[in-house]
């Protein structure tokens, strides 16, 4: 049997390759053959040494091959019965990949493609990809002057004034919601002694993703990848009784986690990020009510931010776990109850919970149909005991509290990336990073423009004045590209009538409004709908 020669392929070849596929489709069935690993004849292979290496690394036992026509390959399967079942296919891109992720080894070419059972579905998917390209948060982030990245700090965001304003708006909004829901905000150190991470188990389980630092006194510290151990230290201050529970501790905690540079992707995958983290310390009897409250809060906040389409993923006990079964029963029943009461679409992932407790993942569906896993709610029957947390119960006995880990956005950085793409940069007024830009039509009206801007700011609406020397059309184009929702144009007419002329984003119409009326109208829009 002849070996296939390696061929180079570039993006420009994909179209031709895509056209070839229809000629290859036929009804010849895929045949599966099982061979004992000891009896494999390696000369059988058509695509070279990598497959032989792969084969040698496989465990002893039966190995499966698939053949179609005169082509045979090592493959685990399963396959569709034959290639005539493929109705629509599109090769999308290529990328270099090192064999087994090792940059000293050969570089292979990975070809990305998609297939759908109907042409209609493929067309829909390609339209979605086109739309996603237009909404790419890295492109919009630049146009809107929100943030940038640099080689000197891979995966860490340099927030610009407007991006940071958006970031702070989300935090302030969350603060208000959490305060009303009885959370207590704290702040814990970013750098903690190695010994604490050893005790919590992170050093062993998570060590390779942690940044460490050795100080001149030869102590080793780690930069926190999570806030949980810090929050237990706060809980451990002072004797706690059942009357202190549930204790809801929250922090906008900056964490650092090492990710390979190839995995980084704008705001969506970073190495340094801010979690909207909270840990709820409660008794076993409080698990159900706390889970319900957390779920309701999360869903309500998503709704405020424009995500009504949420899917829940519930995962229960894995085989290897800590904690007594009766506590698992309670924790699982509580989470499942919260899932069911939400009346949302959900899936049950059997056995996929963490070793320390069951969890719910909250998946948001965005404006163009993509799913993003953001929030989590996890019951933890392990860490509080490991880090010596306890409270005195009604009967005077010492008990270990249950801890719920909860995040809504997950990472604020990533959530902002999702928000940008969901809205294509055109945010609802209340979270727009810069809400108004005042444009005087000539220098003569600069003073009036500055005065209007001050009034708007004092009403809690963000505002800036464009005093540059460019013409009006240029300014309108520029600020529209930056997706500023309201451009307020000021000239003689506006000065005389103490008004502004409003030009809304994506509209060619202009409307004149008295300043007082403007402040009244837009102050009312300057908050989340639930407020
Ligand atoms: Zn946690």
CATH number at residue 316: 3.30.930.10
Are 419 and 442 within one domain? no
Are 29 and 106 within one domain? yes
Q: Which structural domain range is residue 446 located in?
A: 434-524
pTM: 0.86
Are 406 and 446 within one domain? no
Verify whether residue 257 is a known catalytic residue: yes
**Last-in-domain residue among 400, 423, 446:** 423
In a domain, residue 309? The reply is yes
**Last-in-domain residue among 392, 423, 454:** 423
Nearest-angstrom CA–CA distance, 139 and 144: 9
Nearest-angstrom CA–CA distance, 55 and 58: 5
Q: Contact 215/221 with Cβ under 8 angstroms?
A: yes
Q: Contact 376/361 with Cβ under 8 angstroms?
A: yes
Catalytic residue among 135, 162, 256, 279: 279
In a domain, residue 149? The reply is no
Nearest-angstrom CA–CA distance, 104 and 517: 67
Per-residue pLDDT tens for 391-431?
Answer: 999 999 999 999 999 999 999 999 999 999 999 999 999 99
Q: How far, in Å, is the centroid of ligand 1 from the Cα of 229?
A: 8
In a domain, residue 1? The reply is no
Would you state the pLDDT for residue 197? Answer: 93
In a domain, residue 145? The reply is no
Residues 6 or more apart whose Cβ sits within 8 Å of residue 133:
none
Q: How far, in Å, is the centroid of ligand 1 from the Cα of 234?
A: 13
In a domain, residue 207? The reply is no
Q: How far, in Å, is the centroid of ligand 1 from the Cα of 277?
A: 7
Would you state the pLDDT for residue 235? Answer: 97
Of residues 189 and 33, the one with the higher pLDDT is 189
- Which whole number is the average pLDDT over 513-519? 97
For residue 26, name the pLDDT band (cuts at 50, 70, 90). Answer: confident
For residue 2, name the pLDDT band (cuts at 50, 70, 90). Answer: very low
Catalytic residue among 277, 304, 366, 380: 277
Would you state the pLDDT for residue 95? Answer: 83
Q: Judge whether residue 516 has pLDDT over 90.
A: yes
Q: How far, in Å, is the centroid of ligand 1 from the Cα of 361?
A: 14
Catalytic residue among 137, 359, 406, 414: 359
Residue 515: count of CB within 10 angstroms of its CB:
18
Q: Judge whether residue 34 has pLDDT over 90.
A: no
Angle at CA of residue 292, ends 291 and 296, nearest 5° = 115
Angle at CA of residue 90, ends 260 and 23, nearest 5° = 130
Share above pLDDT 90 across residues of the chain, in percent, rounded to a whole number: 68
Q: How far, in Å, is the centroid of ligand 1 from the Cα of 380?
A: 9
Q: How far, in Å, is the centroid of ligand 1 from the Cα of 405?
A: 4
Catalytic residue among 257, 399, 414, 475: 257
Nearest-angstrom CA–CA distance, 300 and 290: 15
In a domain, residue 212? The reply is no
Q: Contact 490/439 with Cβ under 8 angstroms?
A: yes
Would you state the pLDDT for residue 211? Answer: 95
Per-residue pLDDT tens for 83-101?
Answer: 888 888 898 888 888 888 7
Q: How far, in Å, is the centroid of ligand 1 from the Cα of 416?
A: 21
Verify whether residue 195 is a known catalytic residue: no
Are 342 and 488 within one domain? no
CATH number at residue 46: 3.30.980.10
Catalytic residue among 248, 405, 406, 414: 405
In a domain, residue 150? The reply is no
Q: Which residue in 88, 77, 38 sits closest to 58, CA to CA?
A: 38
Q: How far, in Å, is the centroid of ligand 1 from the Cα of 227?
A: 6
Of residues 65 and 48, the one with the higher pLDDT is 65
Would you state the pLDDT for residue 4? Answer: 45
Verify whether residue 374 is a known catalytic residue: no
Would you state the pLDDT for residue 65? Answer: 85
**Last-in-domain residue among 113, 131, 149:** 131
In a domain, residue 467? The reply is yes
Verify whether residue 275 is a known catalytic residue: yes
Catalytic residue among 275, 286, 378, 435: 275
Share above pLDDT 70 across residues of the chain, in percent, rounded to a whole number: 97
**How many residues belong to the chain?**
531
Q: Contact 338/292 with Cβ under 8 angstroms?
A: yes
Q: How far, in Å, is the centroid of ligand 1 from the Cα of 137?
A: 28
Kindly state the tokens that stand for 308. Answer: 């009504």
Per-residue pLDDT tens for 347-397?
Answer: 999 999 988 899 999 999 999 999 999 999 999 988 999 899 999 999 999
Would you state the pLDDT for residue 46? Answer: 59
- Which whole number is the average pLDDT over 34-49? 70
> Computed from CA positions of residues 403, 176, 295, 136, in that sequence, does the dihedral angle turn out positive or negative?
negative
Are 418 and 438 within one domain? no
- Which whole number is the average pLDDT over 300-306? 94
User: To the nearest whole number, what is the mean pLDDT of the chain?
Assistant: 91
Q: Judge whether residue 1 has pLDDT over 50.
A: no
Number of independent structural domains in the chain: 3
Are 416 and 447 within one domain? no
Verify whether residue 359 is a known catalytic residue: yes
Are 182 and 84 within one domain? no
Would you state the pLDDT for residue 63? Answer: 84
Per-residue pLDDT tens for 224-241?
Answer: 999 999 999 999 999 999
Are 353 and 482 within one domain? no
Q: Judge whether residue 32 has pLDDT over 60.
A: yes
Q: Judge whether residue 7 has pLDDT over 80.
A: no
Are 394 and 476 within one domain? no
Are 181 and 304 within one domain? yes
Are 317 and 359 within one domain? yes
Q: How far, in Å, is the centroid of ligand 1 from the Cα of 183?
A: 15
For residue 322, name the pLDDT band (cuts at 50, 70, 90). Answer: confident
Q: How far, in Å, is the centroid of ligand 1 from the Cα of 447?
A: 52
Verify whether residue 504 is a known catalytic residue: no
Are 249 and 123 within one domain? no
CATH number at residue 500: 3.40.50.800
Q: Is the peptide bond before 358 cis (omega within 30 degrees of 0)?
A: no
Catalytic residue among 194, 202, 224, 228: 228
Nearest-angstrom CA–CA distance, 382 and 323: 7
φ, ψ at 95 (rounded to 5°): -150, 150
Nearest-angstrom CA–CA distance, 383 and 323: 11
């Amino acid at each position: 049997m002849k070996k296939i020669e390696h061929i180079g392929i570039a993006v420009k070849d994909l179209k031709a390759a895509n056209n070839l596929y229809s000629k290859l489709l036929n009804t010849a069935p895929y045949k599966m053959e099982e061979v004992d690993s000891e009896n494999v004849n390696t000369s059988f292979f058509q695509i070279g040494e990598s497959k032989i290496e792969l084969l040698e690394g496989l465990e002893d036992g039966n190995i499966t091959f698939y053949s179609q026509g005169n082509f045979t390959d090592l493959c685990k399967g399963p396959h569709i019965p034959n290639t005539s079942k493929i109705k629509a296919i599109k090769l999308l891109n290529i990328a270099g990949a090192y064999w087994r992720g090792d940059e000293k080894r050969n570089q292979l070419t990975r070809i990305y493609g998609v297939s759908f059972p109907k042409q209609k579905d493929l067309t829909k998917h390609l339209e979605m990809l086109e739309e996603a390209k237009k909404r790419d948060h890295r492109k919009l982030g630049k146009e809107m002057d929100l943030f940038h990245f640099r080689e000197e700090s891979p995966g860490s965001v340099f927030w610009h004034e407007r991006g940071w304003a958006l970031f702070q708006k989300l935090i302030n909004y969350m603060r208000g919601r959490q305060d009303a829901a009885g959370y207590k905000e704290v702040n814990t150190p970013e750098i903690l002694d190695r010994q604490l991470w050893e005790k919590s188990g992170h050093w062993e389980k998570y060590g390779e993703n942690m940044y460490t630092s050795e100080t001149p006194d030869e102590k080793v510290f780690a930069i926190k990848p999570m806030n949980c151990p810090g929050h237990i230290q706060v809980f451990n201050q002072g004797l706690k009784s059942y009357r202190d529970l549930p204790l809801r501790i929250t922090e906008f905690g900056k964490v650092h986690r090492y990710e390979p540079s190839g995995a980084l992707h704008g705001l969506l995958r970073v190495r340094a990020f801010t979690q909207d983290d909270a840990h709820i310390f409660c008794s076993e009897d409080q698990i159900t009510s706390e889970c319900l409250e957390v779920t309701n809060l999360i869903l309500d906040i998503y709704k405020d931010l424009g995500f009504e389409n949420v899917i829940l993923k519930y995962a229960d006990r894995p085989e290897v776990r800590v904690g007594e079964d009766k506590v698992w029963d309670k924790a699982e029943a509580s989470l499942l109850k919260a899932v069911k009461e939400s009346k949302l679409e959900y899936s049950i992932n059997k056995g996929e919970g963490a070793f320390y407790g069951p969890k719910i993942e909250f998946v948001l569906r965005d404006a163009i149909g993509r799913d993003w896993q953001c929030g989590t709610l996890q019951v933890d029957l392990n860490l509080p005991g490991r880090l010596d947390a306890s409270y005195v119960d009604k009967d005077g006995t010492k008990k270990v509290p249950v801890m719920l880990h909860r995040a809504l956005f997950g990472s604020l950085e990533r959530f902002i990336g999702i928000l940008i793409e969901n809205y294509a940069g055109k945010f609802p007024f209340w979270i727009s990073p810069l809400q108004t830009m005042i444009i005087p039509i000539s220098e003569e009206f600069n003073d009036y423009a500055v005065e209007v801007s001050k009034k708007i700011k004092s009403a809690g609406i963000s505002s800036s004045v464009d005093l540059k020397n460019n013409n009006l059309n240029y300014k309108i184009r520029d600020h529209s590209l930056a997706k500023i929702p309201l451009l307020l144009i000021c000239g003689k007419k506006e000065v005389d009538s103490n008004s502004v002329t409003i030009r809304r984003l994506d509209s060619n119409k202009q409307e004149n409004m008295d300043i007082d009326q403007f402040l009244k109208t837009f102050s009312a829009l300057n908050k989340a709908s639930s407020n």
